[in-house]
Amino acid sequence: MEPKLGGNYLADRLEELSEAIDKYYGMLNLIRNQIRPTPEEIHEKPEPLIIYEACKELGISRVADCLEEQPYIWLLEWSVVKQRAELHEHLFNNSIAANKDL
């Protein structure tokens, strides 16, 4: 098997990150609905999501503070994390609002 280079590697990494975030929020959704996740459904919070949440909460910019050597890659990763986190927060908030109407 040939090693993945450049854009292919990055695209695959971002797709894996997106899937990991979706699985993590899927597990949280099961727990919120009082459904015990199976061992296959238990997922740790992805490290980029932990970093994103910490930076967001503390108001720290990793790029502006030169904490990243390749900011363009990190910005793509940040974008994926931000989009997926906001999507799941929106879905959760709308499900709460819908349940209040019942």
**If you average pLDDT over residues 6-32, what whole number do you get?**
90
Residue ranges of domains in the chain: 17-100
Whether pLDDT at 102 is above 70: no
User: Average pLDDT over the chain, rounded to whole?
Assistant: 81
Residue 85, pLDDT above cutoff 60: yes
Indicate if the alpha-carbon torsion angle 47, 85, 21, 17 is positive or negative: negative
Could you give the maximum distance between any two Cα atoms of the chain, in Å?
55
pLDDT of residue 26 exceeding 60, the answer is yes
Q: What is the pTM of this model?
A: 0.69
Nearest to 67 by CA among 78, 57, 82: 78
